[in-house]
Copies of this chain bind each other. A is one copy, B any other.
Amino acid sequence: MPNRADFDAANASYVAGFSAGGKPMPPKRQALVIACMDARLHPEKALGVEIGDIHVVRNAGGRAVDALRSVTISQQLLGTTEIYILHHTDCGMLTFSTAQLQGIVKERLGADDGTVYHEFSDLEQSVRDDVALLRASPLVAPGTPITGGVYDVHTGKITWLE
């Protein structure tokens, strides 16, 4: 594990300065953010939230369809009442198709890969699609405020689309 020694050293330093223990399990701000896994997006920093404040679900693209299990747990068991979708500029999801990636998996790993990768060709539309998916889902609490935005990896700025 090439990064483990660095992670461990950093974590020891983090523990030495840690003062946020004892916070309750339900997020204090009652908010859930669904964001991309991209390395250039640190959602907590970009939103200015503290330990204990919000749930953060992340996956390739920040796609809502992949987050529904977590949304239900967050809303029904841990009391979150609003949802923010956060995609970003220069996203890898804009660069390939499911068929291409399935071909790469077949070639490199020898696996027959039926995964739908949920890539997209229009960044803002991908956010709108994910907001719409959540609003239409019977598993999301009716009336939940849901919005979505784009994080600019070059400036750090979040622009909400509605």
A40 in contact with B11 given A60-B70, A69-B59, A115-B68 (CB within 8 Å) = no
Q: How far is the CA of A25 from the CA of B76 in the complex (A)?
A: 35
Residues of B within 8 A of A70 (CB): 37, 59-60, 66
Taking CB atoms, residues of chain B closer than 8 Å to A30 are 2-3
Report the minimal beta-carbon distance from A93 to chain B, rounded to whole angstroms: 8
Residues in B whose Cβ lies below 8 Å from that of A73? 60, 92-93, 101, 117
A60 to B7, CA, bound (A): 23
Q: Which of A1, A22, A154 has the most CB of B within 10 A?
A: A1
Complexed CA–CA distance, A109 and B68 (Å) = 14
Q: Is the CB of A126 closer than 8 A to any CB of chain B?
A: no
Beyond A25-B39, A76-B104, list 16 extra A-B contacts (CB 8 Å): A1-B147, A3-B31, A4-B147, A4-B160, A7-B47, A11-B46, A23-B39, A28-B39, A39-B53, A39-B54, A39-B55, A42-B51, A72-B101, A72-B105, A109-B139, A109-B142
